[in-house]
Amino acid sequence: MNSQYLRTMTLSIIIMLGGIASSANAQEAPDTSCELGCVTLLGSNEKVSITEVQRDWGVEYEVNVLDEALTITAFGVTNIENDYQTYNKVETWSDRYLSENEWNEGFGFTYLGNQVSTNDLGVFEDLFGLTENYVAFFFKKELADSGVVNFNNPGNNFYLFSAEVASELAAFNGTNVVSQSVTNDVPEPSTLAVFALGLMGLVSRHFKK
């Protein structure tokens, strides 16, 4: 067995044992889920938020779907380092930690029962911005009902080992972006540009006369 597999198994056991201990002491222990820090990322359309909960071993993602009519089949959260490792405990979901280059070159994966690539979802910088160059990406492999996640309950079973909380999110339904924290608004024309266009119009009318 390679070292990466052993590391994943060890951290998975730590998470599992921590969950058992938390359940046993639930009535006695205070809520310390944000003891080491939390950051909540909100999609610009306010349909999805993701709370990054800092743990001793890394980050746990708590995904909240704020629009009851919305179904999430994939999501990504950016980070800054290149040596983190994703993990999830949902049977029909999978995960991958990708660089901006890997995403834009077209990482191939099984998604909702089909073979697709990250190119089908969009360009990295359009989805996640330019602040960070890596993304923890989680996606539903199969169409089975067992892969439906009750996102609005704490403890969504999505993790990024060894990481610290970071900055941007994008959520998908199929290949459609349904919420993202990065905004891609077209910039307003400058006052000078508007003035120049108006001046050109006046000159044009003068010569037509």
- Alpha carbon distance 39, 8 (integer Å): 24
Contact 33/48 with Cβ under 8 angstroms? no
pLDDT confidence of residue 68: 86
Q: Does the pLDDT value for residue 12 go beyond 80?
A: no
pLDDT confidence of residue 142: 86
Exposed, middle or buried, 174 (CB in 10 Å: 0-12/13-18/19+)?
middle
Mean pLDDT in residue range 128-138: 95
78-103 pLDDT per residue, tens: 999 988 999 998 888 999 999 999 99
pLDDT confidence of residue 49: 93
Mean pLDDT in residue range 139-153: 71
Contact 50/61 with Cβ under 8 angstroms? yes
Q: Tokens 């993202």 correspond to what residue?
A: 180
Residue 100 in tokens: 């901006």
Query: Half-sphere exposure of 39 toward its Cβ, with a 13 Å CA cutoff?
Result: 13
Q: What percent of the chain has pLDDT over 70?
A: 66
Residue (of 85, 138, 133) closest to 109 by Cα position? 138
Where does the pLDDT of residue 174 fall: very low under 50, low under 70, confident under 90, or very high at 90 and above?
Answer: very high
Q: Tokens 């989805």 correspond to what residue?
A: 127
Higher-pLDDT residue of 204, 28 = 204
pLDDT confidence of residue 91: 82
What average pLDDT does the chain have? 79
Q: Does the pLDDT value for residue 11 go beyond 80?
A: no
Which residues, at least 6 apart from 94, have a Cβ–Cβ distance to it below 8 Å? Answer: 88, 109, 110, 138, 139, 141
3-state secondary structure of 77: strand
25-59 pLDDT per residue, tens: 333 333 457 888 999 999 999 999 999 999 999 99
pLDDT confidence of residue 101: 97
